[in-house]
């Protein structure tokens, strides 16, 4: 899965938990809140990786991947 697909995957995973149900209306998806949750998740993942002091190439590649996912999530702001 590339970074763009992973960003959308994370966003879609948070949509059901951020959905609101106004009285007598159809459910409303809160994309902005779902995006915020996804960004927080990526931040936590990066924080965990950055805490590793003995890095190798694989760890650095994972860090780079999650940074790219974060950038893709931030780009979604204009598309929502």
What confidence tens digit (pLDDT) does each residue in 41-79 have? 999 999 988 888 777 888 888 999 999 999 999 998 766
Domain ranges of the chain: 3-79
> Residue 5's closest CA among 68, 59, 78, 49?
68
The predicted-structure confidence for 10-27, as pLDDT tens digits, reads as follows: 999 999 888 888 888 888
- The structure's pTM equals 0.79
What pLDDT is recorded for position 1?
87
């Amino acid at each position: 899965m590339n970074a763009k697909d992973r960003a959308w995957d994370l966003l879609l995973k948070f949509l059901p938990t951020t959905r609101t149900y106004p009285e007598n209306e159809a459910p409303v998806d809160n994309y902005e809140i779902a995006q915020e949750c996804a960004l927080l998740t990526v931040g936590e993942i990066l924080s965990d990786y950055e805490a590793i002091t003995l890095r190798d190439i694989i760890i650095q590649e994972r860090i780079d991947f999650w940074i790219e996912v974060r950038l893709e999530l931030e780009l979604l702001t204009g598309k929502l």
